[in-house]
Structure 1
């Protein structure tokens, strides 16, 4: 009986914590959200690069007022086109705030999962 009580005391918190975390989706990091929205810019070629992007979040969590800080207008226009109007989730969104994110683009030469 004592073993059953100990098992119950261990099992109940595990089940309740698994259920509570699974019941609601945890917000993703903004960099991860943006990386899922963007295609690799062909302008960067094989070398990749780091790009700084500034934007605001408007009504309906839509990205707007996108600024890309590079000297390449083709790259700037491509990233602005890809991000404008897309939706992201930020739990503490402020309508007047600008968000600045540094993204690293890396071109993978091999398919994922193959050595």
Structure 2
């Protein structure tokens, strides 16, 4: 009796799960690593960091309809570094990020000497 009740419950559970549909659709985002890799192609090791040898800089930006970086902000204590990174990244294109022009992206770039 217990086995048949258990099997009946199991079959009922599996049947309801087979016809279940998710209520929310998930919006998939591109992984951050890919975004950071794309940005790394455009950035060279800043001369300002030659004395510090390494550093981490946080940048925020938006991507316009043409897939170009816009409204770029660099957050570091060194104004020379901020200007150098803005100059290197402004107007550069990112593949796969231009669909939602209102989204603000925040990326951490790590600089290490070669």
Given the two structures, how large is their TM-score scaled by the length of structure 2? 0.66
* Cα distance in 2 between the residues matched to 1:75 and 1:91: 25
Structure 1 residue 90, shift from structure 2 partner: 2.4
Task: Report the count of equivalent residues.
Answer: 82
Task: List 4+ stretches of structure 1 deviating above 3 A.
Answer: none
Given the two structures, how large is their TM-score scaled by the length of structure 1? 0.66
2:101 is the counterpart of 1:95: yes
Secondary structure class of the residue paired with 1:29:
helix
* Cα distance in 1 between the residues matched to 2:73 and 2:38: 17
Aligned alpha-carbon RMSD (Å): 1.8
Which residue of 76, 84, 91 maps to 1:85?
91
2:64 is the counterpart of 1:58: yes
When Rg is computed on C-alpha atoms for both structures, the one with the higher figure is 2
Unaligned runs of 5+ in 2: 1-30
Structure 1 residue 37, shift from structure 2 partner: 0.7
Unaligned runs of 5+ in 1: 1-26, 109-115
